[in-house]
Amino acid sequence: MTATETIDATTQEAGRDFIRDIIDTDLTQHRVPGIVTRFPPEPNGYLHIGHAKSICLNFGVANEFGGRCHLRFDDTNPTKEEQEFIDSIQRDVHWLGFDWGVHLHYASDYFEQLYAWAEHLIVNGDAYVDDTPSDQMRAARGTLTEPGQNSPNRYRPADENLALFRDMRAGKLPNGACVLRAKIDMAAGNMNLRDPVLYRILHAEHPRTGNAWCIYPTYDFAHGQSDAIEGITHSLCTLEFEDHRPLYEWLLDHLPIDQLGLPTRPKQYEFARLNIGYTVLSKRILTTLVRDGHVTAWDDPRMPTLAGLRRRGVPAAALRDFIRRVGVARANSVVDVAMFDHTIREDLNRTAPRRMAVLRPLKLVIENYPEGQTETLEAINHPDNPAAGTRPIVFGRELYVEREDFMENPPKKFYRLSPGKEVRLRYGFFVTCREAIKDASGEVIELRCTYDPATRGGNAPDGRKVQATLHWVAAADAVPAEIRLYNQLFTRPDPGADGDVLADLNPDSLEVLTGCQVEPALATAPIGEPVQFERTGYFCTDPDSTPQKPVFNRTVGLRDTWAKVQAAR
Ligand code: ATP
Ligand code: MG
């Protein structure tokens, strides 16, 4: 592993990276007639933000260089794969903005061809059936410093191997009875070349092939050969497959792939996977979080899955922009989660309409405003985009303001409400706090204020200033809402570094606020549509919403720690 480094968002601009350079050269030197890539997920979970990097790279270069990208399910392990995952993966790739056209493929489509190729290896003496018990087989593989031992089955004649392999396929042998191995080199420095397993027996129903097969190819045997069948030119994968590349090459060398009539044979290139602070991108762990109820589902907004991010309100465009900024390199690194939030904020700041919502309401009564009367003010939908227009909002005697915008005994620099203090209400009037009413326990339950009718529109004719502008909603038409605030799912930047990733779960990752009050325009907002709650953050409507009680997810707060870090540099 290479040393970790922090990526600087400002140094990565669009366009160039070593993969794109390779492709450019291959095209200009006519090594390939055109480029074909693939995104090859195993349908054993939902896609996460790390997959987004691979998707943006594979589909991105195909688009940029006039080629095509396939979506190929690597569905070779039926015990872990499900139709739900196949469906969710297609939905998520589309949502991210990419399309495979007619090139939706499955490794299972090639099972017959792969099987024929396995027989080809056997006949040529390049593969053998090994019935050594698995623990002994493991022990005989050797270590990084010691060569492995040849299996006694290594010299079994080809016709015997063929008969045994056919018995495996015919279902005559139980799980684990034997495997098919490539005959390469038990002393190879690269462990992947020590007679790797190509097929194993697995009596399990497959989501697509049902019970047609009881032997399944391993990743190494299925992957490169699927690439060849589909005419993939650049097989882009993450660095952990670097040590598999010699095997990828060996298999292509020993199989009759020229019969496919390919203009060129596939080549594998590796890039660094995406890692993000405070975030787990292991499908195994994400599966545990869902299965054991640490989150509500794969699309829980705290999850780093594409479905979770979408539900949280992260726009696909922001995700693509983030991936572009991270760039493609060969050095492993950990991206600061603040940079991700910064990218989301930048996008939403441009696109999200402004609304007012009070998260923790405190009633404010304007004593000199006539009872039973209301009036309509005009609120701006987007400060930087006049075309977004305005909307009417109701103002009246009783309002809700944010509890934290009042302090009875404020410190020096607290400019918001306190007894005697005048502030501006957004889009409305100046109000002065006269008194705080408390309940029996001493908690402030209501503010009594007066307003200055001459300040309609937000300015005083005499030119006097106030130091704070507060958001509010009118009790007359506010809609009660639930608002869900999300914090990091893990408490440390490197979850699991001490061994137990579950011990690093943040017990405060979800805070549910009930009894919030939002302006009526929000009650009918379409599910998932982003809005900015003025002074609070970016939110979107959750699918749990009803017209009577909308539910909002906080996508990201307003405070930008990343911008501060960058400014300090
Ligand atoms: P596992 O193999 O442990 O089930 P995986 O995350 O590698 O998990 P795959 O379905 O095999 O899952 O991944 C599909 C593709 O996405 C692979 O090409 C893989 O290299 C790539 N990928 C997975 N995680 C990341 C990541 N964090 N950053 C970039 N690419 C990734
Ligand atoms: Mg994988």
Domains defined for the chain, CATH in brackets: 32-271 (3.40.50.620), 357-471 (2.40.240.10), 483-515+522-568 (2.40.240.10)
The answer to whether 61 and 37 are in contact (CB under 8 A) is yes
* Residue among 273, 282, 286, 335 to mutate when testing ligand 1 (max atoms within 8 A of CB): 273
Q: How far apart are CA 127 and CA 195, in angstroms?
A: 8
Task: For the beta carbon of residue 133, count every other beta carbon within 10 angstroms.
Answer: 11
Instruction: Tell me the per-residue pLDDT of 99-120, one tens digit each, with 9 for 90 and over.
Output: 999 999 999 999 999 999 999 9
So what's the pLDDT on residue 263? Answer: 85
10 pLDDT tier (thresholds 50, 70, 90): very low
Which contiguous run of DSSP H or E holds residue 114?
helix 111-123
User: At residue 404, what is the residue type?
Assistant: E
Query: How far does Cα 152 stand from its chain's mean position?
Result: 47
Active-site residue, selected from the candidate residues 194, 265, 267, 283 = 283
Per the structure block, which two tokens stand in for 192? Answer: 């992947």
Residue 208: pLDDT above 60? Answer: yes
Instruction: Tell me the per-residue pLDDT of 475-501, one tens digit each, with 9 for 90 and over.
Output: 999 999 999 999 999 999 999 999 999
So what's the pLDDT on residue 271? Answer: 98
* 408 is known as an active-site residue: no
Residue with tokens 């097929």: 199
Residues with CB under 6 A from ligand 1: 40-42, 44, 50-51, 53-54, 237-238, 273-274, 281, 283
So what's the pLDDT on residue 8? Answer: 39
The answer to whether 308 and 301 are in contact (CB under 8 A) is yes
DSSP state of 384: T
9 pLDDT tier (thresholds 50, 70, 90): very low
So what's the pLDDT on residue 561? Answer: 73
522 pLDDT tier (thresholds 50, 70, 90): very high
Residue with tokens 């300040």: 455
* Residue among 74, 238, 286 to mutate when testing ligand 1 (max atoms within 8 A of CB): 238
Question: How many residues are present in the chain?
Answer: 569
Q: How far is CA 401 from CA 89, 116, 195, 254, 416, in A?
A: 43, 72, 70, 73, 11
Instruction: Tell me the per-residue pLDDT of 160-202, one tens digit each, with 9 for 90 and over.
Output: 999 999 999 999 999 999 999 999 999 999 999 999 999 999 9
* 534 is known as an active-site residue: no
What is the Å distance from ligand 1's center to 59 Cα? 15
So what's the pLDDT on residue 560? Answer: 75
279 pLDDT tier (thresholds 50, 70, 90): very high
For the residues of 246-288, what is the DSSP string, one character each? Answer: HHHHHHHHHS-GGGGT-SS--EEEEEPPP-BTT----HHHHHH
Active-site residue, selected from the candidate residues 80, 91, 208, 273 = 273
559 pLDDT tier (thresholds 50, 70, 90): confident
The answer to whether 207 and 82 are in contact (CB under 8 A) is yes
User: Percentage of the chain surpassing pLDDT 70?
Assistant: 97
Residue 566: pLDDT above 80? Answer: no
Instruction: Tell me the per-residue pLDDT of 315-324, one tens digit each, with 9 for 90 and over.
Output: 999 999 999 9
The answer to whether 23 and 61 are in contact (CB under 8 A) is yes
| Ligand number nearest to the C-alpha of 50 | 1
So what's the pLDDT on residue 567? Answer: 75
So what's the pLDDT on residue 6? Answer: 38
Per the structure block, which two tokens stand in for 59? Answer: 């589909």
DSSP state of 504: G
* Closest by CA position to 156, among listed 178, 187, 171: 178
So what's the pLDDT on residue 547? Answer: 83
**Exposure b/e, 551-567, CB count within 10 A at least 16 = b:** bbbbbbeeebebeebee
5 pLDDT tier (thresholds 50, 70, 90): very low
Residue 14: pLDDT above 70? Answer: no
Task: For the beta carbon of residue 136, count every other beta carbon within 10 angstroms.
Answer: 11
Residue 12: pLDDT above 70? Answer: no
Residue 7: pLDDT above 90? Answer: no
- pTM comes to 0.94
CA torsion 153-155-160-163 (nearest 10°) is 60
Burial tier of 411 (Cβ tally within 10 Å: 0-12, 13-18, 19+): exposed
Beta-bridge partner residues of 355: 533
* Closest by CA position to 285, among listed 57, 438, 110, 495: 495
Task: For the beta carbon of residue 230, count every other beta carbon within 10 angstroms.
Answer: 22
What is the Å distance from ligand 2's center to 237 Cα? 9
Q: How far apart are CA 456 and CA 453, in angstroms?
A: 6
568 pLDDT tier (thresholds 50, 70, 90): confident
What is the Å distance from ligand 2's center to 443 Cα? 55
Mean per-residue pLDDT over the chain, rounded: 95
User: At residue 196, what is the residue type?
Assistant: P
Give the SS3 label for residue 127: strand
